[in-house]
Amino acid sequence: RTDVQQFKVRLPEKSGIDFGEFELLFSCLTNLTHLTVIAVRGFRLTRAERWEHLIRTYLPHLRDFRFKFNPILERTDARQLLAAFQTPFWLVEHRWHVHCDYHRVQSTGWRDTKNVHLYTLPYCHDEFYLCSSTTALTDTGKDVYATIGQLCFIINGPLETNLQDRFQFPSLHSLAVQN
């Protein structure tokens, strides 16, 4: 056991870590009050009920939980993924608000593939990737993206109609544009 109260985990794209390994790690960090998890792909980490169990079991003092997962999903409904984070545990008990947006990935065949961004607000990272075809599944407040200094804007189709209303970056100092 340790007295660490703040902890940040960054998982690279090819990380194979799963919830069992997270449980082992957090069983030693039971005094955490602030936790940030950033996973470039992180599909295995998008299960809200597993996070709830892990937090209730190992992290009883956790007050601030922020995450950013960016899985590629095939034949998975992003709305269902988000709905799992819209329970009383997340919204009422802890007041942790999770946002989800996605854009379709060009693929061949019958696959419905989406690049999904699932993250807590306020946003926990200083860079953000946004596509012209991004669909946002939730509304956001004015300052929730205030931590973002670097934006990568990818032009991959027509501009989504409400994009400029849903994403505002008051602290932006760097913009990269790709097509």
Q: What is the pLDDT of residues 104-163, one digit of tens each?
A: 776 655 566 778 889 998 888 888 988 888 888 888 776 788 899 999 998 887 776 677
Query: In which element (H, E) is residue 52 found?
Result: helix 48-58
Q: Which residues are bridge partners to 72 per DSSP?
A: 115
pLDDT digits (tens, 9 = 90+) for 75-104: 678 888 899 999 999 999 999 999 998 887
Q: Tokens 């973002």 — which residue?
A: 148
**What whole-number distance in Å separates Cα of residue 163 and Cα of residue 160?**
6
| Residue 43 one-letter amino acid | F
**What whole-number distance in Å separates Cα of residue 27 and Cα of residue 116?**
29
